[in-house]
Amino acid sequence: MNTVDRIKEMLETLKIFSETSNGVTRLPFTKEAELAVSYLKQKMEEAGLEVFVDASGAVHGIRRGISPRKIIIGSHYDSVKNGGAYDGIAGVVCAIEIARILKYETLFYTLEIIGFNDEEGVRFGTGFFSSKAFLGEWDIEKLKSQYDDKNISIYDAMKNWGLVPEQLINIVWQISKIRCFMEIHVEQGPVLEKEGVDLGIVNGIVGMRRYSIKIFGRADHAGTTPMNMRRDAMVAAAKVIEHIEMAAQKYLGSVATVGSCIVSPDTVNTVPERVEFSLDIRSINDDDLYAMEQDILIYLECVAQERNLTYEIQTKLEVEPAQMDKRLRAYLRDSILRLGYSSVSLNSGAGHDALPISRKVPTAMLFVPSKNGRSHCPEEYSKPENLAKAVQVVINTLKKINNEEDINNELS
């Protein structure tokens, strides 16, 4: 089997570990996640790696180099609901293939492959679970105050999955021990396909904020309560949601999405008492992100006052926009040229573990074209041939990093 066939086979197998047959649903701390982790462990072992699962549920494979300082390559293994078979997991599979190809090579830096857990944040409305754990950004209180739609906290979900949340403290990275982080990921947008190129080098990644917003009104009879005497949480939510779309349109390159909404009591003949909805806002420009957030919050306050309603906002995620490392981007570009592949540089509108990590560790991302730019849906597809090209480019880049001048300094 060659690289293309191995990538194809791994992705086909991993696709099976889904909760539904409509696309892939592999949420964190579930049976499906457990099956994926056990398969990834097996593949990492076959690639000659020392394998373990950490306190966040991330799966690691290590190849010791001459130096204990690490180059980390990885992506996430969780998915959205009814998503595709490539988002995240394709990068984990490529990383395993990289380790397999380098199985018998002497490496200067230690190579660590990671399948990150819960990057998407779908289950708890959060995001970047393992990467934030590596950066020491979770505490027990936070784990106990974020819930899924069945009212299970992250803390309890971890325990039910056999993890010990208190041990998260033990997996915080020693930043000086890490040379860099690299992530291969499918583009999830239309740019690379439109440009007709093999690969994309990521310049920067959008900043993101996520909130859970609850609007509280009063449940009343839908037939007997006059329109001017209602405190309807649903109408208020609808007005705010429409404003959210307008607010995002004011700032070029910014986006805002309400992707989840729960109404209660969710009854045909009762005025809605409570509406809870998610808000995800993103921009490559931090000032725009802040301005858009303020715009939405001020409008929410006005609507609540006007309609005699109350509301609560819980911040679920806050990450500033980030630039990828210049030197690593140059290495990637040089490797692409030497291998005779084509590429363009682009920003990422999707979030990635590379985003929070890049604040602390030199980080680079390589994108693989997505068919019709589709992602977060069952139609998601990227050619295994292009994923195999990304593998070759990263191997070439690893060799450059392993040979760079400061190795002499490390040895002395």
Which residues lie near ligand GLV (CB under 6 A)?
A: 120, 350-351
Residue nearer to Mn ion on the CB measure, 87 or 232:
87
* Separation of alpha carbons 385 and 348, rounded Å: 22
Residue nearer to ligand GLV on the CB measure, 201 or 350:
350
* Separation of alpha carbons 406 and 115, rounded Å: 28
Q: Does 87 bind Mn ion (CB under 5 A)?
A: yes
Quote the least distance from Cβ 348 to ligand GLV, whole Å.
8
CB 57 within 8 A of CB 33: yes
Q: Does 349 bind Mn ion (CB under 5 A)?
A: no
Residue nearer to Mn ion on the CB measure, 258 or 291:
258
Residue 87 known to bind ligand: yes
Please choose, from the candidates 324, 344, 328, the residue with its C-alpha nearest in 3D space to the C-alpha of residue 400.
328
Q: Which two tokens stand for residue 217?
A: 């009104």
- 191 DSSP assignment: H
Quote the least distance from Cβ 158 to ligand GLV, whole Å.
21
Residue 120 known to bind ligand: yes
Residues in CB range of 76: below 8 A, 6 or more apart: 88, 89, 91, 92, 115, 116, 117, 118, 119, 120, 130, 353
Name the segment binding Mn ion (CB under 5 A); options: 7-15, 53-61, 83-91, 138-146.
83-91
Residue 20: exposed, middle, or buried by beta-carbon count in 10 A (0-12, 13-18, 19+)? exposed
Residue 22 known to bind ligand: no
Residue nearer to Mn ion on the CB measure, 272 or 349:
349
Residue nearer to Mn ion on the CB measure, 87 or 97:
87
Quote the least distance from Cβ 151 to Mn ion, whole Å.
24
CB 148 within 8 A of CB 157: yes
Residue 60 known to bind ligand: no
Residue 185 known to bind ligand: yes
Q: Does 207 bind Mn ion (CB under 5 A)?
A: no
Q: Does 88 bind Mn ion (CB under 5 A)?
A: yes
Amino acid symbol at 79: S
Binding residues: 76, 87, 120, 185, 210, 269, 282, 376
The residues binding Mn ion (CB under 5 A) are: 87-88
